[in-house]
Amino acid sequence: MSEVKECPWCGIEPRLFGKDKAQCINEFNCPNAYGRPIPLDEWQVRPIEDALRAENEALRRKIAQIHKIAKSSIYDEEGLLGDIEEITKQDSPSGERI
């Protein structure tokens, strides 16, 4: 298994029980501190977080594309608007347009 993820409630590294369970021990700042040890195959699953990271990365790539076009087309207003519209027509992972 890859690196053990931080606690989803407070963000600190969990305490491991053997090789297959994790528990948060951040007793002062975590609502889940000293809760039941959670099997790592459950602890590592973060579907919303993973989807948001993927969407964030896709949006960063689009921003980089827009910056690149803006730098190369700054004196051509009609061409710049056409290129940006073409990029924003592409679907984001959430289906929203940027």
Give residues in contact with Zn ion (CB under 5 A): 7, 9-10, 24, 26, 30
Distance of CA 36 to the CA centre of its chain: 27
Query: In whole angstroms, how close is the CB of 6 to Zn ion at the nearest point?
Result: 8
Cα 42 from Cα 62, distance rounded (Å): 33
Query: In whole angstroms, how close is the CB of 29 to Zn ion at the nearest point?
Result: 7
Cα 60 from Cα 52, distance rounded (Å): 12
Nearer to Zn ion, 12 or 87 (CB): 12
**Sheet of 15-17: strands edge to edge?**
15-17, 21-23, 38-39
Query: In whole angstroms, how close is the CB of 8 to Zn ion at the nearest point?
Result: 8
Nearer to Zn ion, 10 or 87 (CB): 10
Nearer to Zn ion, 34 or 72 (CB): 34
